[in-house]
Amino acid sequence: WVTSNSDSDNFLQCLSLFSQPSIPVSKIIYTPNTSSYSSILQSSIQNLRFLSPTTPKPQLIVKPLHESHIQGAVICSKKHGMHIRVRSGGHDYEGLSYMSDIPFIIVDLFNLQSISVNTEDNTAWVQAGATLGELYYRIAEKSRTHGFPAGSCPTVGVGGHFSGGGFGTMLRKYGLAADNVIDAHLVDVNGKILNRESMGEDLFWAIRGGGGASFGVIISWKIKLVAVPPTVTVFRVEKSLEQDATKLVHRWQYVADKLHEDLYINVVIGVENGKQKGERTIQVTFGSLFLGDVKELLPLMEKDFSELGLERQDCIEMNWIESVLYFAGISEEESLNVLLDRVRQSNDSFKAKSDYVKEPISEIGLEGIWKVFLEEETPIMILSPYGGKMSEISDSETPFPHRKGYIYEIQYLTYWEEVTEASKKHIDWIRRLYSYLTPYVSKSPRASYLNYRDLDLGRNNIGNTSYTQASVWGIKYFNNNFKRLVRVKTMVDPSNFFRNEQSIPPLLSWG
Ligand code: FDA
């Protein structure tokens, strides 16, 4: 797999056969000698942990302006033994879309970002390089009563997000983004463009939650838009430990997945400075989107979660697109155009993990989490309720298996500023928290969410990886669906061309 300069030259020559006269290959290729190479490489990197001078860099970046450039990149890299990484929004938690331990090139879909929304038949085609913010903006431009159930961060790319599941504040009503994908265009390992019909239901199933990177390059998705009411209601209620935050989180676990499906209440836990100098304390925020007005919301809260003490003045009515800004933490003063902004929002390094809870955690268990939290500088934990639509979709409908019986998902992260020796300290901390949570979270398997990628769960060999070895992480993300993903992979990419540290291995590549 060690590629030489002549491999790169041959690759470029080969790629030029796929470019149109109007777009010379020089317009889509960036080498380390190109002045914009570094800024393009860094443009969408979200986790500064992977922006250090020692992070392996690509030999080339191909930035397709046309589908044929993706076909060319696949065919030519296969022919000349180049390893590829595909990047859409660059939000991968472990940097797998722009980093590899073996020589590689990046196919960066940044320029493929067109979106066409059809409110007549409630669908849209979205190219993989578009962001969630762009998608939400284009939907709202056409209608204030259509929406799409995907993640909260506007800069996330739809290429990676939909292919790994994708959830946000409407998942209790409409499920995951992947549950609402109805067609896709993909470049396969032979460089062919396939749609749902020509790829067949197995491959179409695999790319809706199994991670696109194992199966091909997704060019675009066709999605089903969903109905949102003209008025939605949001609230954010903060509680300190003195205000019974522990009891409230404990109680929340018994109601969060059983509330009306129009009501989503998540919990964000962080650490704040206390009243005394040097004192640090736990802060808990209950954040909610309700698909209706405040008149309907208050009685529901009174009936099911009166302990929170929600009052009229805690609530804000708005339309759905404004709620998108609210949950992205963007000021209401900002114009909606901010959703089109692709500039990196994070200036931090981070490490994250995920878990699922099937039995409420005891108050003592929660207090233990607070204790571990106070050992860290900038920890965050987000509890996202399931139930509703999530419980109605079968475990095998898509590769994403965490459905009925899962009360909520936990995501925990720690942030720090610089990539230094200190990184280890933060990573050690989050591993300690993972270990602390063991008795409280799902078991056999201990479930994880692919889009919150965590290489601690296990990684493939640089060479071939056996089914058994990949099962260690694969079962956590996909449970019983892992087997079918391996079958699909074996069928569509037996030579394991599309691979990374956590790609689905084909059976033929048993090492
Ligand atoms: P990126 O381009 O890094 O790709 C991620 C993976 O998909 C890589 O393996 C890549 O090779 C592959 N891939 C990308 N494009 C592809 C294509 N066209 N064809 C084939 N493979 C492709 N999740 C969530 O469910 N809800 C949320 O609210 C959020 N919020 C959030 C906020 C922030 C700040 C971050 C950093 C991340 C999230 N996420 C999230 C997680 C997010 O869903 C996850 O990181 C996605 O994989 C990101 O997709 P991108 O295209 O941006 O990533």
* ipTM score: 0.99
Quote the tokens at residue 362: 């005891």
Residue closest by Cα to atom 14 of ligand 1: 160
Distance 93 CA to ligand 1 centre (A): 8
> Residue 101 in 3-state DSSP?
coil
Q: Would you say the CB of residue 314 lies under 6 angstroms from ligand 1?
A: no
Contact 113/137 with Cβ under 8 angstroms?
no
What pLDDT shows up at residue 344?
61
Question: 452 an active-site residue?
Answer: yes
Is the torsion defined by CA of 423, 428, 429, 435 positive or negative?
positive
Q: Would you say the CB of residue 305 lies under 6 angstroms from ligand 1?
A: no
Distance 162 CA to ligand 1 centre (A): 8
Q: To test the ligand 1 pocket, which listed residue (62, 97, 289, 354) has its Cβ within 8 A of the most ligand atoms?
A: 97
Q: Would you say the CB of residue 212 lies under 6 angstroms from ligand 1?
A: yes
Q: Would you say the CB of residue 349 lies under 6 angstroms from ligand 1?
A: no
Beta bridge partners of 471: none
What pLDDT shows up at residue 420?
67
> Residue 211 in 3-state DSSP?
coil
Contact 235/323 with Cβ under 8 angstroms?
no
| Spatial CB neighbours of 438, under 8 Å, sequence gap ≥ 6 | 446
251 burial (CB, 10 Å; 0-12 / 13-18 / 19+) is: middle
> How far, CA to CA in Å, does 31 sit from each of 81, 129, 354?
17, 21, 36
Q: Which atom of ligand 1 is nearest to the CA of 452?
A: 41
- Cα(153)–Cα(115) distance, integer angstroms: 18
Q: Would you say the CB of residue 269 lies under 6 angstroms from ligand 1?
A: no
Residue closest by Cα to atom 46 of ligand 1: 161
> How far, CA to CA in Å, does 208 sit from each of 92, 108, 162, 186?
17, 20, 6, 12
Reading the chain (511 residues) residue by residue, the pLDDT tens digits are 445 567 788 999 999 988 777 788 889 999 999 999 999 999 888 898 898 888 999 999 999 999 999 999 999 999 999 999 999 999 999 999 999 999 999 999 999 999 999 999 999 999 999 999 999 999 999 999 999 999 999 999 999 999 999 999 999 999 999 999 999 999 999 999 999 999 999 999 999 999 999 999 999 999 999 999 999 999 999 999 999 999 999 999 999 999 999 999 999 999 998 788 888 999 999 999 999 999 999 999 999 999 999 999 999 999 999 999 999 999 888 899 999 998 766 778 999 999 999 999 999 999 999 999 999 999 999 999 999 999 999 999 999 999 999 999 999 999 998 766 678 999 999 999 999 999 999 999 999 999 999 999 999 998 889 999 999 999 999 999 999 999 999 999 999 999 999 999 999 644 4
DSSP state of 451: G
Residue closest by Cα to atom 30 of ligand 1: 153
Type of residue numbered 227: A
Listed residue (477, 496, 487) closest to 211, CA to CA: 477
Contact 57/32 with Cβ under 8 angstroms?
yes
Q: Catalytic residue among 30, 136, 264, 452, which?
A: 452
> Residue 474 in 3-state DSSP?
helix
Helix-strand-coil split of the chain, %, nearest 5: 35, 20, 40
Instruction: Name all contacts of 8-12 with Cβ < 8 Å and 24+ positions apart.
Output: 8/59, 8/60, 8/82, 10/76, 10/79, 10/80, 11/60, 11/76, 11/77, 11/80, 11/82, 11/105, 12/60
Q: To test the ligand 1 pocket, which listed residue (62, 88, 131, 409) has its Cβ within 8 A of the most ligand atoms?
A: 88
Q: Would you say the CB of residue 217 lies under 6 angstroms from ligand 1?
A: yes
Largest CA distance in the chain: 70
What pLDDT shows up at residue 46?
87
What pLDDT shows up at residue 510?
45
Q: Would you say the CB of residue 265 lies under 6 angstroms from ligand 1?
A: no
Neighbours of 488 (CB within 10 A): 24
What pLDDT shows up at residue 5?
66
- Cα(299)–Cα(417) distance, integer angstroms: 44
- Cα(465)–Cα(450) distance, integer angstroms: 19
Q: Which atom of ligand 1 is nearest to the CA of 156?
A: 52
Quote the tokens at residue 8: 């790169």
- Cα(133)–Cα(137) distance, integer angstroms: 6
Beta bridge partners of 126: 115, 221
Distance 176 CA to ligand 1 centre (A): 14
Contact 415/380 with Cβ under 8 angstroms?
yes
What pLDDT shows up at residue 297?
98
Distance 174 CA to ligand 1 centre (A): 20
Characterize the bridge pairing of strands 83-87 and 104-108.
Answer: parallel
Q: Would you say the CB of residue 402 lies under 6 angstroms from ligand 1?
A: no
Q: At what angle do helices 481-492 and 196-206 cross, to 10 degrees?
A: 140
> How far, CA to CA in Å, does 303 sit from each of 221, 254, 258, 286, 308?
40, 13, 12, 17, 11
- Cα(169)–Cα(408) distance, integer angstroms: 13
What pLDDT shows up at residue 1?
40
Q: Would you say the CB of residue 159 lies under 6 angstroms from ligand 1?
A: yes
Characterize the bridge pairing of strands 123-127 and 115-118.
Answer: antiparallel
* Dihedral angle, C-alpha 210, 169, 110, 1, nearest 10 °: -30
Q: Which residue has the tokens 């809706």?
A: 208
What pLDDT shows up at residue 4?
59
- Cα(16)–Cα(164) distance, integer angstroms: 32
- Cα(429)–Cα(432) distance, integer angstroms: 5
Residue closest by Cα to atom 31 of ligand 1: 153
Q: Would you say the CB of residue 97 lies under 6 angstroms from ligand 1?
A: yes
Q: Would you say the CB of residue 164 lies under 6 angstroms from ligand 1?
A: yes
- Cα(189)–Cα(78) distance, integer angstroms: 8
Quote the tokens at residue 182: 């109805």
Listed residue (435, 231, 219) closest to 321, CA to CA: 231
Quote the tokens at residue 142: 């056409």
Q: To test the ligand 1 pocket, which listed residue (44, 51, 70, 86) has its Cβ within 8 A of the most ligand atoms?
A: 86
What pLDDT shows up at residue 511?
41
What pLDDT shows up at residue 279?
87
